[in-house]
Amino acid sequence: MIDLRSDTVTQPTAAMRAAMASAVVGDDVYGDDPTVNHLEQMAAEMLGFDDALFTTSGTQANLLALMSHCHRGDEYICGQQAHNYKYEAGGAAVLGSIQPQPIANQADGSLLLADVSAAIKPDDFHFARTRLISLENTIGGKVLPQQYLADAQQLAFSKGLKIHLDGARVANAAVAQGLAIADIMQFFDSATLCLSKGLCAPVGSLLLGDEHFIQRARRWRKMLGGGMRQAGILAAAGELALTQQVARLADDHANAQILAEGLSQIAELTVDRSLVQTNMVFAELDSKVDPQLLTTKLAEAGVRISASKTLRLVTHNDIATADIHKTIAAFKHCLAHV
Ligand SMILES: *Cc1c(COP(=O)(O)O)cnc(C)c1O
């Protein structure tokens, strides 16, 4: 199966499986797991922060960040499309008593800083206390420009707010711009990064920040059931995600371009190629085609996608360029027969 639903479907590499099998482990809740400790230290150093925390998922890492920056009755400003607003089951509100203040994302994924500024509440007991701005990079596969991040940081600083990066796919943003991940994270007080997406680790994310922030996050992680014991088995793969899998993302980006170009030739699909900047291709399906039927036909032809009017196709380590050509041919064949 050519599985284009997400880069979360990636299998751990052979090197990861070997490292996992031989990882030296201990009880991480006691701070005794040398492999987890090494991953956290290495990540903090590599990404330009004082400290790091290995978490079960990106959702948990984002929630820990929100709960460590904000208290009950505080709010964070984010995009309507932000993962940590729209796709994390309302965790900040449910578990943190933190009010989201979502504002519209622009077509390029950014938030207009004038909108952000207008949403910041004055110090008045009628309002929740605005504490944090949260951005996402990449967002919907799109890269936020470095100057924009610098301006957002400046805004946060001038208003006395903290600024967080949901960097689930920040490695893709870095590779797309020929930058180090640290070059992007430098504008943020805290950041998350998923090891388990394009970087191929089976499980886990990282949360980065200063020492006191990570101490608070460690307490919340324990409370939320995220204190894992011999977690070095997972951290061993996570380390290879950071050291061996980042540069390779360029292949996924090249494959996404080939896919976008091929699909844009098909009458029933509309692809805005300017939005294909990393490993995601979005294709609008002609309203006459039933997405579920197309998905079923494609599955029969060996291509797995999620049914939607707007198809999201994600390239990753388990998709070779030959698979991209097969996918384009399968789309042509199936759309001629639905
Ligand atoms: C996937 C994702 C997350 C959450 O990661 P999980 O490990 O799936 O919980 C957070 N933010 C963004 C932008 C993501 O794409």
H or E stretch including 137? none
Report pLDDT digits (tens) over 98-123: 999 999 999 999 999 999 999 999 99
CA–CA separation, 273 and 281 (whole Å)? 8
pTM of structure: 0.97
Q: Which domains does the chain have, with CATH numbers?
A: 8-244 (3.40.640.10), 248-335 (3.90.1150.10)
182 has a pLDDT exceeding 90: yes
- Selection from 58, 28, 30 nearest residue 241 by Cα: 58
Neighbours of 147 (CB within 10 A): 8
Q: Label residue 338 by pLDDT band (50, 70, 90).
A: confident
Share of the chain above pLDDT 90, in %: 99
Share of the chain above pLDDT 70, in %: 100
Cα 194 to middle of ligand 1, angstroms: 7
Atom 14 of ligand 1, residue of closest alpha carbon: 168
Cα 271 to middle of ligand 1, angstroms: 24
Helices 321-335 and 291-300 sit at what angle, rounded to 10 degrees? 130
The DSSP bridge pattern shows strands 310-314 and 280-285 to be: antiparallel
Calculate the alpha carbon distances from 73 to 64, 68, 96, 214 in Å: 16, 13, 9, 21
Average pLDDT, the chain: 98
H or E stretch including 44? helix 34-47
Q: Label residue 3 by pLDDT band (50, 70, 90).
A: very high
| pLDDT of amino acid 337 | 87
Query: Is the Cβ atom of 164 under 6 angstroms away from ligand 1?
Result: no
310 has a pLDDT exceeding 90: yes
- For residues 235 and 32, is the Cβ–Cβ distance under 8 A? no
Q: Is the dihedral of CA 318, 320, 325, 326 positive or negative?
A: negative
Please give the average per-residue pLDDT across 205-221, as a whole number.
Answer: 98
Report pLDDT digits (tens) over 245-295: 999 999 999 999 999 999 999 999 999 999 999 999 999 999 999 999 999
Q: Which ligand 1 atom is at minimum distance from the Cα of 139?
A: 13
Report pLDDT digits (tens) over 128-156: 999 999 999 999 999 999 999 999 999 99
Query: Is the Cβ atom of 81 under 6 angstroms away from ligand 1?
Result: no
Report pLDDT digits (tens) over 149-161: 999 999 999 999 9
| pLDDT of amino acid 258 | 98
